[in-house]
Chain A
């Protein structure tokens, strides 16, 4: 029993660490907790994914609460796009159960490497250029809105375009979420920011609002298949949430590219380890 407490504590600490890095790097904790559990705790990857997807629901709902209240996230856009992420997530969970495990390690490594890009290269326009007009779907569903821009101290109006390509990208984001047990926020933000031209602040907070629902679509499949082991999932959910809160506090104080570079390096190292595991080499 003593050893069990010790192990639960270790998982908790790893989860707090993943949560801190995740929230400070803007990635969410899931992206690191699966590698931690598989590489360092030798947990089977399906159980790691099952535990991770639970923590993803907890953190995203917690964070979304604040953004929804401040009316930064666009709930209409989020609700419409969740159609595609949830469908994708179900497909992703199916794939996870069919695909050879080595493939999942390799896809995970590649996704981690892609996630580093926004850390190195800042993406996204703060404000939308006035040339962006609503596309027909956005017009019909009145997806355009406004959000409080704290730097400029006023409400900024914005339109929504590229709904079709954005939706397609959301399907991909959903598949990756269900397949890997991650929130896949990076891909959701790319869909809204790059394809649909939403202001970056709206994209990231709306993504947060969507992540919980997306994760729930695959979480049920993992849970009822017995792939959510309570002794792993409980400390992971608690730890990642604590880490995310701590990370958000730290983020306010530490403004610098050094931190981002350090996190970038950690993520790349973990990504390479996942890729190597996928081809059967363990360090």
Chain B
């Protein structure tokens, strides 16, 4: 095999590798959305059918204005959502689906790290890892944000 052919061969292998990683990312992207939305729909339908959120019942106008760190109208911490899902509370399912949606980009960047490790692409292993760390840190910042509130 001549050096030129060898170059073409390497180039072709690289293209194929890129093809596979593009397809993996694409499949991950679409399924992460479908699964999270599926869980959200299950929760919403359950709420409409049973007319029970599983949490404190408030009038509609108050429901549409409910929120904030101390609200008990719906769960918004990992343990309260998990408990609610175990007890089949409809709002807990909606929140679980939403949480999955929020977490899905973190899974995506993790997948990218794996792809870059496989391709031995050092600069991008570093870049993707920093993005991953930023996203993970963001999950723990809610309390810090509140302490800044005047």
A binds B: yes
Chain A interface (Cβ < 8 Å from any Cβ of B): 1, 3-5, 7-8, 41-44, 46-47, 50, 54, 57-58, 61-62, 64-66, 68-69, 71, 75-76, 79-80, 82-83, 86-87, 89-90, 93-94, 97-98, 140-141, 212-213, 215-221, 223-235, 237-238, 241
Would you list which residues of chain B between 43 and 89 have a CB under 8 Å from chain A? 43-44, 47-48, 51, 53, 60, 63-71, 73-74, 76-77
With A1-B51, A224-B76, A226-B67 as contacts: A94 and B145 at CB distance below 8 Å? yes
Chain B interface (Cβ < 8 Å from any Cβ of A): 18-19, 22-23, 25-27, 29-30, 32-33, 36-37, 40-41, 43-44, 47-48, 51, 53, 60, 63-71, 73-74, 76-77, 91, 94-95, 97-99, 101-106, 108-109, 112, 123-124, 127-128, 130-131, 134-135, 137-139, 141-143, 145-146, 148-150
With A79-B131, A98-B150, A220-B102 as contacts: A225 and B145 at CB distance below 8 Å? yes
In this complex, the member of B29, B60, B65 whose beta carbon has the largest number of chain A beta carbons within 10 angstroms is B29
Docked complex Cα distance between A215 and B91 (Å): 22
Query: Are B26 and A226 touching (Cβ within 8 A)?
Result: no
Query: Are B138 and A98 touching (Cβ within 8 A)?
Result: no
Query: Least Cβ distance of A199 to chain B in Å?
Result: 18
With A86-B138, A230-B91 as contacts: A75 and B26 at CB distance below 8 Å? no
Query: Are A230 and B145 touching (Cβ within 8 A)?
Result: no
Query: Least Cβ distance of A168 to chain B in Å?
Result: 17
Choice from B23, B112, B148 contacting A69 with Cβ under 8 Å: B23
Query: Least Cβ distance of A138 to chain B in Å?
Result: 12
Query: Are B65 and A43 touching (Cβ within 8 A)?
Result: yes
Docked complex Cα distance between A42 and B70 (Å): 21
List of A residues within 8 angstroms of B25 by Cβ: 68, 75
Query: Are B37 and A241 touching (Cβ within 8 A)?
Result: yes
Query: Are A7 and B60 touching (Cβ within 8 A)?
Result: yes
Docked complex Cα distance between A82 and B95 (Å): 26
Query: Least Cβ distance of A231 to chain B in Å?
Result: 6
Query: Are A58 and B134 touching (Cβ within 8 A)?
Result: no
Docked complex Cα distance between A152 and B122 (Å): 35
Docked complex Cα distance between A29 and B140 (Å): 27
In this complex, the member of B40, B69, B70, B98 whose beta carbon has the largest number of chain A beta carbons within 10 angstroms is B98
Query: Are A218 and B138 touching (Cβ within 8 A)?
Result: yes
Q: Is the interface of B mostly helix, strand, loop or mixed?
A: helix
Docked complex Cα distance between A164 and B106 (Å): 25
Query: Are A238 and B37 touching (Cβ within 8 A)?
Result: yes
List of B residues within 8 angstroms of A44 by Cβ: 65, 67
Docked complex Cα distance between A66 and B30 (Å): 8
Nearest to A100 among chain B residues (CB) is B150
Query: Are B105 and A232 touching (Cβ within 8 A)?
Result: no
Docked complex Cα distance between A127 and B47 (Å): 51
With A57-B105, A213-B135, A237-B37 as contacts: A230 and B68 at CB distance below 8 Å? no
Query: Least Cβ distance of B112 to chain A in Å?
Result: 6
With A4-B60, A79-B124 as contacts: A97 and B149 at CB distance below 8 Å? yes
List of B residues within 8 angstroms of A58 by Cβ: 33, 36-37, 101
Q: What would be 15 A-B contacts, judged by CB atoms less than 8 Å apart?
A: A5-B48, A65-B27, A68-B29, A76-B124, A97-B146, A98-B149, A141-B123, A216-B105, A221-B138, A224-B142, A226-B69, A227-B67, A228-B98, A229-B64, A234-B98
In this complex, the member of B32, B37, B123, B135 whose beta carbon has the largest number of chain A beta carbons within 10 angstroms is B135
With A43-B64, A65-B26, A234-B40 as contacts: A54 and B124 at CB distance below 8 Å? no
Query: Are B134 and A79 touching (Cβ within 8 A)?
Result: no
Query: Are B101 and A64 touching (Cβ within 8 A)?
Result: no
Query: Are A83 and B26 touching (Cβ within 8 A)?
Result: no
Query: Are A221 and B29 touching (Cβ within 8 A)?
Result: no
**In the complex, the 6 A-B pairs of residues with the closest C-beta atoms, listed nearest first:** A224-B142, A69-B26, A230-B94, A65-B29, A216-B105, A65-B30
